[in-house]
Structure 1
Amino acid sequence: MEPIRETMKRVVNAPSFSERYDAMKKEVLEHPGVLKFLKQHEEEIDGPTVEKGMGKLYEYIDQSHDCNKCPNLGGCINHLKGFEPNLVLERGNIGISYTKCRLKTAEDNKRHASSLIHSMYMPKEVMAARIENFELDDRRLPAFRAVDEFLENSTGPDSLPEKGLYLYGKFGTGKSYLLSAVANELAEINVKTVLVFVPEFMREMKQAIGDHTLQEKIEYVKKADVLMLDDIGAEAMSSWTRDEVLGTILHYRMAERLPTFMSSNFSYSELAHHLTYTQRGEKEDLKAARIMERIETLTVPVKLEGENRRNK
């Protein structure tokens, strides 16, 4: 039997192998990334070092760089999915290190942003809203400008305007969508937002008395960096939900100067009327006025007009 060393020598010296190796070596040494690396380390790398590191150099050029060979993160061709190779010099030898690629960075950023938004009973399609997809016309422009101004003045969790917006208008004009779009924009600057669909939230608060989670849930909502109360006024308001739940949340946020957004089919005056009358028909002007004072302190009213887009 022929010794393995002799076999390897014969294979390596075979014309076909030699030609393929020369072609591979030429491809490697003409690669822009390799040329740049060798230029940067020309005083440290000699011919034998290049020859010894040819396997690593080929491994480098055979992969995707700046995601140029990958259709998406799932289709990444690299040895470590989501990471791209970088040539390095390690103790005089050529090696490879891996760093996160731009597709994985974008995906991780997206996941991080999603983790900063806590939705309570909001539809999934609304939660995917983006500012750039908000359809503009003359009637919707004032609301868009108000939102844009808030975002322009928001630079991070510790630098937010004290007042949020009270978006009001007819059913289906895009108020919930715009709230969610703002939440997604704020997540890009690491601001945590809690979005609450008020009618369902109030129903859960009544159930929370029985399972002893009422205080915990109120604490969570009232302390959010940014709180968005969607469809306020659509709930069947009792004295208890108005004063002990809504009132408690708004009082804390007013005292702590935490930005709060709201959406409603009612204007301020119409909401005041709604809050005045309880489910039992009791008229409580003073208590309603207290809630409205907090709402007016926390928000700037902006009317969002337009057609009902849910019927399009």
Structure 2
Amino acid sequence: MIKTNNFIKKGKKAIQDDLRREFVLASKDPDFVKLCARLKSKDEILMKYTSKLETSVLELKNCAKCKGLNYCSNEVNGHVYYPVNKGDFIEFIYKPCKHYKKEVTTNQTKFFETPRILMNASLSELFNEKERNNIIKYIKNFLKQKINNEQVKGLYLSGSFGSGKSYILSALLNELSNKGFTTANVYYPSLLKRLKASFNDYNYDEVIDEIMKTDILLLDDIG
């Protein structure tokens, strides 16, 4: 029994030594050290979570250079894997970033089968693209007129596949939503399927009303 206890003690010591070694190596990263200092916890506790803390550091670095949700490279889009001091242990949560918070609180666009990248489309990401100067100028003018409640004609954007038509108009729609307009972003082929299906359950009018009761409607990919 004594030999067994000694073996267990040696095993625990070896584990502790490995944990401390990994923690010391990770501490060579200044950002890792800053994060640990922010937690105000003992090294004996922190070193149990070295790997997870390194993940947090990596995701925080991603956030520091991130331009928006479309560029998020973290495991959970718009969130960072963040440690919280719980006294005798560290809890990790997915903390929403500033871009995610802004998107949730401002964009009230209704989306119908819209790809995620279009849901997060932003005009600010387009303004520096010189090759789009003409269309951006037109989009800015349209936006200005709508905000000033001026009479303005609808937009029809055509072009080759993959040229960015959907992204540009979705970005405009999201911006108008942020300004208080009610908007709907509809992927037209899916809308037709939905309308066809609605004939069977007698809610055709509900589908139409849901779309039409908006200030601005975007029909994407009408063919």
Q: TM-score, normalised by structure 2?
A: 0.51
Residue of structure 1 equivalent to 2:111:
117
User: For residues 226 and 4 of structure 1, do their structure 2 counterparts lie closer, same or farther at Cα, with a shift above 3 Å needed?
Assistant: farther
Q: Secondary structure at the match of 1:136?
A: helix
User: For residues 10 and 185 of structure 1, do their structure 2 counterparts lie closer, same or farther at Cα, with a shift above 3 Å needed?
Assistant: same
Q: Secondary structure at the match of 2:152?
A: strand
1:193 aligns with 2:180: no
1:143 and 1:167 in contact (8 A); partners too = no
1:118 and 1:193 in contact (8 A); partners too = no
Within a 5 Å distance, the mapping from 1:1-312 to structure 2 comes to 3-12=3-12, 20=18, 22-27=20-25, 32=30, 33-34=32-33, 37-38=36-37, 41=40, 49-51=42-44, 53-67=45-59, 68=61, 72-73=73-74, 83-90=80-87, 93-100=88-95, 102=97, 106=100, 109=103, 116-118=110-112, 131=123, 132=126, 135-137=132-134, 140=135, 143-150=138-145, 153=147, 161-163=148-150, 165-167=152-154, 179-187=169-177, 192-194=182-184, 213=203, 215-228=205-218
Q: Distance in 1 between matches of 2:137 and 2:152?
A: 12
Shift of the alpha carbon at 1:34? 4.4
Shift of the alpha carbon at 1:62? 3.7
CA RMSD of aligned residues (A): 5.6
Shift of the alpha carbon at 1:4? 3.8
Q: Which amino acid aligns with 2:55?
A: Q
Q: Which amino acid aligns with 1:11?
A: G
Shift of the alpha carbon at 1:146? 1.4
2:177 and 2:183 in contact (8 A); partners too = yes
Q: Which amino acid aligns with 1:116?
A: K
Q: Distance in 1 between matches of 2:34 and 2:137?
A: 55
Q: Which amino acid aligns with 1:185?
A: E
Q: Secondary structure at the match of 1:61?
A: helix
Q: Secondary structure at the match of 2:91?
A: strand
User: For residues 186 and 29 of structure 1, do their structure 2 counterparts lie closer, same or farther at Cα, with a shift above 3 Å needed?
Assistant: same
Higher share in helix:
2
**What is the percentage of aligned positions where both structures have the same residue?**
15
1:60 and 1:87 in contact (8 A); partners too = no
Shift of the alpha carbon at 1:193? 1.6
Q: Deviations over 1:7-28 (max 9, x none)?
A: 12233557xx786455335336
Shift of the alpha carbon at 1:36? 5.5
Q: Secondary structure at the match of 1:84?
A: strand
2:183 and 2:215 in contact (8 A); partners too = yes
1:194 and 1:228 in contact (8 A); partners too = yes
Q: Distance in 1 between matches of 2:12 and 2:80?
A: 33
Q: Distance in 2 between matches of 1:170 and 1:57?
A: 52
Q: Secondary structure at the match of 1:165?
A: coil
2:82 and 2:93 in contact (8 A); partners too = yes
1:194 and 1:224 in contact (8 A); partners too = yes
Q: Structure 2: where are the runs of 5+ without partners? A: 64-71
Q: Structure 1: where are the runs of 5+ without partners? A: 77-81, 154-160, 231-309
